[in-house]
Amino acid sequence: MHDSTSDGLCSSPIVALRAHQLPATVCAAAGVECPLIDRKRAHEVLDRLGRDPTLTIRLTSPADELPHYRRVSPDSLSASSADDVFNRKRDLDVLQRLGLVPGAVRRARYLYALLFERIASLDGLCAWDTEQWCGCEHARRGAYESVRERGWATIVARRSDADRQAARLRSAKGIAAGERLFVRPHHLMCLCCWY
């Protein structure tokens, strides 16, 4: 049950994920052991998503690190592993397709809806048709697509109809009892459309 004084928007917990791990959680939800995210971590994230409809996700990537603010040591000058470099590229590919930047924080429901809308398959992220790029062996087996077809509610908890109705009633009572009407700026656009 949700706190009746909160709309769940401003104080919702945040889960940090590397951007390339967002589609990996979808594969994990389909039962695939994805090499891009630790199995235990994937199930921890999926469990939280399945219990808390207010959860938000911060998409991280080392692509947003500012190296000139870090102390440089001889050890830090060595080249990253090929996997690290490739996953950094994969982070940027996912973020670009979603129209987001490293560090973006979005509601989980919105993020998975956006993921399923803009990334129909794992081609170009985890599967390639070139000899030089070895993709994930599971990428073309339909696991991601099967979850995508069922929609975001397969992964993220959906508030019950009763819970949503109770929130609407609380909101309506608050508006009726108040001396002033407080709205968010985007509500004015909604009111214009309804008018």
Q: Is residue 195 part of a domain?
A: no
C-alpha span between 42 and 103 (Å, rounded)? 19
pLDDT value, residue 21: 95
Q: Is residue 7 part of a domain?
A: no
Q: Is residue 124 part of a domain?
A: yes
Residue 138 has pLDDT above 70, yes or no: yes
Q: How many domains does the chain have?
A: 1
Query: Mean pLDDT across the stretch 144-158?
Result: 92
What one-letter code names the amino acid at 172? A
> Band of the pLDDT at 72, cuts 50, 70, 90?
low
Q: Is residue 174 part of a domain?
A: no
Contact between residue 136 and residue 122 where contact means Cβ atoms under 8 Å apart:
yes
Residues spanned by the domain of 130: 14-65+79-158
Residue 183 has pLDDT above 50, yes or no: yes
CA distances from 100 to 42, 94, 129, 154 (A): 22, 9, 26, 23
Q: Is residue 112 part of a domain?
A: yes
The 10s digit of each residue's pLDDT in 13-51 is: 789 999 999 999 999 999 998 889 999 999 999 999 999
Sheet holding 105-107, edge to edge: 14-18, 56-60, 105-107
Residue 81 has pLDDT above 60, yes or no: yes
> Band of the pLDDT at 5, cuts 50, 70, 90?
very low
> Which of 65 and 157 is assigned the larger pLDDT?
157
**Nearest 5 degrees, angle CA 22-CA 25-CA 29?**
150
Q: Is residue 59 part of a domain?
A: yes
Q: Is residue 47 part of a domain?
A: yes
pTM strictly above 0.85: no
C-alpha span between 32 and 34 (Å, rounded)? 6
pLDDT value, residue 110: 93
Of 50, 27, 51, the closest CA to residue 37 belongs to 27
Contact between residue 54 and residue 168 where contact means Cβ atoms under 8 Å apart:
no
Q: Is residue 113 part of a domain?
A: yes
pLDDT value, residue 3: 47
> Which of 97 and 159 is assigned the larger pLDDT?
97
Stretch among 7-16, 77-86, 181-190 having the lowest mean pLDDT: 7-16
Contact between residue 41 and residue 28 where contact means Cβ atoms under 8 Å apart:
no
Alpha helices (H) in 38-184, listed in sequence order? 39-51, 82-98, 108-118, 143-150, 161-177
Stretch among 7-11, 37-41, 107-111, 154-158 having the lowest mean pLDDT: 7-11
